[in-house]
A and B are shown apart, each in its own frame.
Chain A
């Protein structure tokens, strides 16, 4: 008799369909290809063992991504990682305001041009250098698409903390993108281009 019931082929196909998302998310979390592959394999195994907790098959994507992320967080905790978040961050930094210079608007849309030229590698680099507490919430909210409530539950912190970390993480991310654009010569931070309202 075949031991593999009809749920095996379904689970296999669902995992294989999701593999690019699992690999991408794991690489962003671990910042390392080999660790990412081990994390994905472990998450798939855990998902299979706990498959009864998946109530609706249509929610498979969010469910297995959360398993993967929670597994990563659990591994980090067991390694004794205690990230600090006392870093001072200018939450008001806005990439849009840096780019949106009124005198430039006569002849272009600089913020759209910036996004058109933005490379995937630029974004990955900007996320990777974020301090850990901010990197995690930006990844979970913006890359994985988790809700504030889901992130708060995984990180065991109040939703207010998630809002705060997200605001600071996004500000740091936008500042990193701005500085990269200046370094790459895509933008000049000369005084005449510097907005007066935000520092």
Chain B
């Protein structure tokens, strides 16, 4: 029996966050995808949420101050394969 159903908008929107977070699998994922394929309104909402997520993801990357990069390079140079303790000067 085909377990895939076309969801209502309410059902699709309830699962949208998990769908966009890649937390749905199998039939659940396909049911949301199938709804988005046929519902322009929910598709538009999904695209908005997807783009907002994309903008948020970009916040995880900042310019590195030159002074701090030098500090990190010095720290890395202090590591040796036998190092298993935290160096004092970092």
Instruction: State whether A115 touches B21 (Cβ < 8 A).
Output: no
Asked whether B57 lies within 8 Å of A45 as measured between CB atoms, the reply is no
Q: How many residues of B contact A (CB 8 A)?
A: 41
Chain B at the A interface: SS class: helix
- The closest CB in chain A to the CB of B76 belongs to A12
Would you list the 4 A-B pairs with minimal beta carbon distance, nearest first? Answer: A24-B62, A142-B56, A24-B61, A143-B60
Residues of A at under 8 Å CB distance from B?
3-5, 7-8, 11-12, 15-16, 19-21, 23-25, 27-28, 37, 40-42, 44-46, 48-49, 65, 94-96, 100, 111-112, 115, 118, 120, 123-124, 127, 138, 141-145, 147-148, 163, 166-167, 170, 174
User: Complex Cα distance A142/B75, Å?
Assistant: 30
B: residues with CB less than 8 A from A are: 17-18, 21-23, 44-45, 48-49, 51-53, 55-65, 68-69, 71-73, 75-77, 79-87, 90
Q: Return chain A residues, CB-CB under 8 Å to B52.
A: 95, 115, 174
Closest to A109 in B: B44
Select from chain A the residue with minimum beta-carbon distance to B84: A49
A27 pairs with B17, CB closer than 8 A: no
Flag if A37 contacts B82 (CB, 8 Å): no
Say which residue of A3, A27, A141 sits within 8 Å of B82 (CB atoms): A3
User: With a CB–CB cut-off of 8 A, which chain B residues contact A147?
Assistant: 21-23
Across the interface, A45 reaches (CB within 8 A) one of B21, B55, B56, B75, namely: B75
| Known contacts A3-B81, A96-B49, A148 near B21 by CB under 8 Å | yes
Contact residues in A for B68 (Cβ distance below 8 Å): 23, 37, 40
Specify the chain A residue showing the minimal Cβ separation from B58: A120
Given contacts A96-B49, A170-B17, contact A143 B76 (CB under 8 A): no
State A40–B82 Cα separation when bound (angstroms).
21
A115 touches B48 (CB 8 A): yes
